[in-house]
Amino acid sequence: MPLPVVLKDVLEQVDPLTDGWQTYVHRATGEVVGFSDEDEILAEEDPEELPEWQQEVLQTVRAVHASDDYVRLPDPFDFDEYGVMDQFCRLQEDPDLRSELLEAIRGRGAFRRFKDLIHDRGVDQDWYACRDEALKAFLADFFEAEGIPFVDE
């Protein structure tokens, strides 16, 4: 992917932000690559008998770690999804829905209760659109801080 980085394309690569998955962007080209923590371990061990596709992944891992041109994208713990959920709940115009959602996100199991409720109440597409916009803004701030040009298309 040539520069500038297209936020929509990066969003597809990192959504959802996943624990155990690393995503990098090449500072000069805008290329986005990703691999698992397991792939990283395999690249260090350098096993001989792996399928060709997996050897290609391991080559990517090695290339990323051999170059200062790759910048690691944020991991799931850097994005405040709970804060976005809270904001989404508070923005609901229907006071009953707003109250139900705010109650759902309190305490243990908040994410599961929230997801069940948004599906039951038919606002799941609104939530995913809200979350995508928040994630794009988060990534835009990241790229800006890293000096990597981007566009929001």
**Is 25 part of any domain?**
yes
**Is 47 part of any domain?**
yes
CA distance 118 to 115: 5
Question: pTM (2 decimals)?
Answer: 0.81
Domain shared by 86 and 67, yes or no: no
**Average pLDDT of every residue of the chain:** 89
Q: Which domain holds residue 90?
A: 79-132
CA distance 38 to 145: 29
Q: How many domains does the chain have?
A: 2
Three-state DSSP class for 21?
A: strand
What pLDDT, on a 0 to 100 scale, did the predictor assign at position 17?
59
**Is 96 part of any domain?**
yes
What pLDDT, on a 0 to 100 scale, did the predictor assign at position 13?
76
Domain shared by 60 and 88, yes or no: no
